[in-house]
Amino acid sequence: MKTARPVATAFAVAGYIVMIVPILFVVAVSFTRSPTLKFPPQGFSLQWFDAALKYQPFIGSLVTSVEIALLATLLALLVGVPTTLAIHRGRLPGKGIVEGLFLSPLIVPELVVGLALFQQLIVSFRIDNWFVLLVGHTALLLPYAVRVTGAAVIGADPFLEEAARGLGASPWRTFWTITLPILRPGIFSAALLSFITSFNNVPLSLLLQSRTTRTLPVTMLDYVQQSYDPMVAAASTLILAATIVIAVIAEKTVGFAKIFGGINR
């Protein structure tokens, strides 16, 4: 075991380098004065951040991404949490089949899901792209809601709920006073993972987009194909900074040990 630790450490360090170094390159390039993407950056300037914040397609698609991510996360939790409780606490017949159906979006390729939604809802029924995009993202996030909150349910002590009911609490009161507080870290974790997954999604959003409904990652991808200036790097740096702020807030309010099921302990 001792001889394996240096090897594992070396692989871990190599993995961190592979993940972090490209991000550092993008951040460094976003501060350049050069009109094109070059490394090392030439000079120091904030002009590309100003350009990214004033570029209307980025702003419009950002609003769309946030709206879709928030609503899809909310809908996924509204469906996923009761489903999780029914699977692990109820007497639902065929629990394994039901859980497998809700986890199936993790197995089915997103391009297949997107093509099916495009063909059936947009082409056949002519439903608005924004609504279809919301449906697709919600389906994509259901596994996170079911799996993560399910882990919280499995780790919870069922005798607490039985004790509350034994003391005369109604099922609704037991849920609000006992079950929901126990599941809060799992729900917060599922919401955080779901929002990030929806916001960063490209394959599904690329198939279900329209001229008026585009998410930020798709818009940035289109911009990279047409232009070679550092504005996309500046936009990526702003997204990274926002992600760090969210992570800090999550750590201060709840703590990652509680959010991710105590893996830090």
Per the domain annotation, does 75 fall within a domain? Answer: yes
Q: Which CATH number is 163's domain given?
A: 1.10.3720.10
d(CA 29, CA 39): 7
Domain holding 85, by residue range, is 55-259
Give the DSSP letter string of 55-77.
-HHHHHHHHHHHHHHHHHHHHHH
Amino acid at 67: E
Whether residue 18 is contained in a domain is answered as: no
* Axis crossing angle, helix 95-103 with helix 56-88, rounded to the nearest 10: 170
pLDDT digit string (tens) for the chain, length 265 residues: 454 578 888 888 888 888 888 899 999 999 999 888 888 888 889 999 999 999 999 999 999 999 999 999 999 999 999 888 888 877 777 778 888 888 888 888 898 999 999 999 999 999 999 999 999 999 999 998 888 888 888 777 777 777 877 777 777 887 888 888 888 888 888 898 899 999 999 999 999 998 889 999 999 999 998 888 899 999 999 999 998 888 887 777 766 655 555 434 4
Residue 35 lies in a domain: no
Q: Number of structural domains, the chain?
A: 1
